[in-house]
């Protein structure tokens, strides 16, 4: 019963994730275009390496899961007779070549529909996070250096305007992706529960043995993507903390210069007050993407697995 429930929850989570991306399609495309101009403005040095890394991740996500699925199913098809009814192989049992073609097509469609799409979504989220954080870090570094060299009203106004644009870009990312990110984290959680429910099922059934291995491979593959997504999202918190340190350094630098212009001093104090940023990517506002989230998820998974095993 619990196995059927977790299997349904996994399928439902994948469908909701796909639907959330589809409904936000135009908004995400607009966000990517806006983010591209934001990144190009600051000429991020790591842009080329990030692009190559993104290309490699996309190729891996497109090729590895279907390849593993095809090899695995073809290798085990003769060992698990109970799967013949499930995969409707009796229809082509007298034609081995037709059976293999059917299995390849079915496995490709299944992995692309259920797993490749979700992996590509997390890769997209990671790329957006990295692009924004790299540009944000470069922008804050330039702002810090500019104010260190010349604390003028012009530089202060320019810095305030840049921070306002960066915060608006951050809000657009949150509006477009936060719900999908929440569903993505929910997906890996229910996927793990599905794995636990399979491990507690009757392993006399060969199909359950096959599913256990498949789900374990899928869990490891998706978990690595979500770890990377979490680490990419947590970089924004690091940038925010670094900016707080830079603000304090600007204040110390101003105190040493002993600013005599009261207007410049008032503008500087206003800037320091308005430029306090505490940005963090979230999952629908429920949790923040930070490194401690990895430990929280691991703790929850262990707790629920023990609960399921004892029931």
Res. 43: pLDDT tops 70: no
pLDDT digits (tens, 9 = 90+) for 96-107: 666 667 667 777
Least confident of 27-36, 148-157, 198-207: 198-207
pLDDT of residue 29: 93
Greatest mean pLDDT range, 31-35, 246-250, 267-271: 31-35
CA atoms within 13 A on the CB side of 30: 9
Could you tell me which residue, 129 or 79, shows the higher pLDDT? Answer: 129
What is the mean predicted confidence (pLDDT) over 81-108? 60
pLDDT of residue 75: 67
How confident is the prediction for the chain on average, in pLDDT? Answer: 79
- Rounded to two decimals, what is the model's pTM? 0.86
pLDDT of residue 259: 60
Give the helix/strand (H/E) hosting 207: helix 206-257
- Spatial separation of the C-alpha atoms in residues 162 and 275, rounded to whole Å: 10
pLDDT of residue 234: 95
Least confident of 107-116, 174-183, 193-202, 225-234: 193-202
89: CB partners within 8 A, 6+ apart = 77, 83, 99, 102, 103
Greatest mean pLDDT range, 254-258, 280-284, 297-301, 305-309: 280-284
Q: Which domains does the chain have, with CATH numbers?
A: 1-26+118-310 (1.20.58)
Could you tell me which residue, 237 or 83, shows the higher pLDDT? Answer: 237
Q: What is the DSSP string of 249-274?
A: HHHHHHHHHT---HHHHHHHHHHHHH
Res. 204: pLDDT tops 50: no
Res. 47: pLDDT tops 70: no
Res. 83: pLDDT tops 70: no
Give the helix/strand (H/E) hosting 194: helix 153-199
pLDDT of residue 181: 94
Polymer length of the chain = 311
Least confident of 15-19, 62-66, 101-105, 238-242: 101-105
pLDDT of residue 82: 52
Q: How confident is the model at residue 81 (pLDDT cuts 50, 70, 90)?
A: low
pLDDT of residue 202: 57
Question: Cα separations (Å) of 295 from 11, 300, 302?
Answer: 25, 9, 11
User: Quick one: how far is CA 96 from the chain centroid?
Assistant: 41
Res. 18: pLDDT tops 90: no
pLDDT of residue 230: 94
pLDDT digits (tens, 9 = 90+) for 148-170: 887 777 888 888 888 889 999 99
pLDDT of residue 99: 63
Res. 51: pLDDT tops 80: no
């Amino acid at each position: 019963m619990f196995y059927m429930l977790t299997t349904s929850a996994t399928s439902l989570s994948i469908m909701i994730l796909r639907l959330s991306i589809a409904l936000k399609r135009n908004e995400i495309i607009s966000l990517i275009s806006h983010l591209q101009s934001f990144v190009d403005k600051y000429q991020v040095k790591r842009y080329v390496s990030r692009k190559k890394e993104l290309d490699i991740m996309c190729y891996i996500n497109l090729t590895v899961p279907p390849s593993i699925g095809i090899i695995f199913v073809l290798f085990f098809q003769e060992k698990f007779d109970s799967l013949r009814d499930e995969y409707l192989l009796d229809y082509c049992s007298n034609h081995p070549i037709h059976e293999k073609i059917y299995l390849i097509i079915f496995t490709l469609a299944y992995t692309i529909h259920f797993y490749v799409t979700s992996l590509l979504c997390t890769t997209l989220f990671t790329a957006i996070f990295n692009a924004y954080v790299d540009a944000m870090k470069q922008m804050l570094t330039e702002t810090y250096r500019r104010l260190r060299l010349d604390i003028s009203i012009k530089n202060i106004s320019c810095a305030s305007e840049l921070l306002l644009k960066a915060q608006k870009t951050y809000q657009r990312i949150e509006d477009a992706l936060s719900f999908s990110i929440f569903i993505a984290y929910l997906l890996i959680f229910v996927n793990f529960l599905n794995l636990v429910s399979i491990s507690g099922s009757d392993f006399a059934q060969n199909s359950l043995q096959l599913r256990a291995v498949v789900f374990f491979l899928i869990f490891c593959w998706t978990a690595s993507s979500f770890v990377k997504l979490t680490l990419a999202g947590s970089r924004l918190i690091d940038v925010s903390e670094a900016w707080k340190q830079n603000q304090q350094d600007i204040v110390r630098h101003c105190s040493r210069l002993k600013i005599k212009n009261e207007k410049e001093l008032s503008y500087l104090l206003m800037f320091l007050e308005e430029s306090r940023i505490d940005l963090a990517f979230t999952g629908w506002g429920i949790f923040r993407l930070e490194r401690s989230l990895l430990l929280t998820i691991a703790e929850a998974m262990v707790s629920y697995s023990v609960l399921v095993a004892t029931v």
